[in-house]
Structure 1
Amino acid sequence: CALPILFLQHLGRATSLTRGRDGTGHYSDPALKIYGNISPLGAMAPVACGAALASKIRKEHAVAMTYIGDGGASVGEVHEALMMASVMKLPLVLVIENNQYAYSTPVAKQFIVKKLSDRAIGYGIPGITVDGTDVEEVYHTCKQAVERARAGEGPSIIESITMRMHGHAAHDNAWYVPKELLESWKKKDPITLYETKLIGEKGVNGKAIEEIQQRIQREIEEAALAAESVPYPPGEEALLGVYA
């Protein structure tokens, strides 16, 4: 979504995608074919599976892609979705962000396989593990999976190895994560790593990167100010659109 739309949503303004009823990421944008997020992320796999099935029936040649964490990958809905998607060869790409922790549970206590992508073997579909801090590796791997799905060859699983650098939510200070682990992952910031690569290997001028950063900062500030000028929805609208 565009920055103005994001700020309207998170500030709960009247013209936001949820008309001020939700201040988080639980929104959809039908025009962009973005489906509303479900908090238990594993439950998004069947939703994406349904979207992929609809695309196949309508011959739209679209590909459904959804992202879940290592914790979300443990729920039954994910297995059900992958069973259906693999048997029906649905155009689906499931990205599993291996964050090392689900809430406070480390991956060693979540699953016994060495790689979550190995689960793809049981469904007879491709599974690949990538370095989630490598921008180009992630891009090219996802591109290949999307092209494969669009060609009618079925779903894929992509496991992205990364690290959740904060607690699960604002109330969680991540006391259970060893400080030295967080410190080691700080050195793998994908933005910093890619900036270094652009300058060192791609011949990009450091000043050009600085100008991009300044432009982005201006766009953020302008979008925030624009959203703040939009009023909140009137209280009497709170009960509109309630059907249960």
Structure 2
Amino acid sequence: MEREHNDRIVALVTGANKGIGRAAAERLAVLGMTVLIGARDGRRGEEAAAAVRAAGGDAHAIALDVTDRDSVLAAAKRIEAEFGRLDVLINNAGITGSGQTSPMDATDQIPSTVDLDMVRAVFETNVFGVIAVTNAMLPLLRRSPAARVVNVSSHAASLTLTGDPDGPFAALLPSAAYSPSKSALSALTIQYANELRKDRILVNAVAPGFVDTDSNNHTGHLTPAEGAAGLVRLATLGPDGPTGGFFSEDGPLPW
């Protein structure tokens, strides 16, 4: 995915003003891409973009709330007007539903007592928001000769891992919101990959691992840069790269 300097690869990262999304944006900028930093908070988006530019990268803030249809359409319209196409889309924006508590340790996500409003809110961002953004950006992605879509998921999306009573998730509380939303994202990833294979658009899901972020009250053991490595790898796949897969930095993950 190399182009002349005056024809940079254009990458949009949603939820990119902090955490894994910001780390991915910073790395893509180092690789020479024009990075569009999607953020609900315009001020924070501008601050993140300015920091990337100060480090020598080409970055622009894009106001983008994945749960707001008008915001999504306005972002797509702006990208078309200013850049003409999109080469990389990283659907990173997501919520746990439980504030700064890991959703797999959160008592408010236990299936038998969960608040349906929480489930709806989590799916609105983690599933419906991905559909909204991906569909709005598809006309721009189709203009790219080598488009890549990366959906940021979690090990908790794996039915194989979470369904094993003796497995690594056995000691964690069941989740009726976050984990199922990421499992639904896995299903979406496969279906988009199947549809877009003929367009040579590669679509994959990635689990960054347990990363030190606001979403787990900074209890993760990986740095945001370490967590972002998998996102960047899938965003820069060559033409023979996989599509419709689910990966961690250690390789393929079971569905």
Output the TM-score relative to the length of structure 2: 0.27
TM-score by length of 1: 0.28
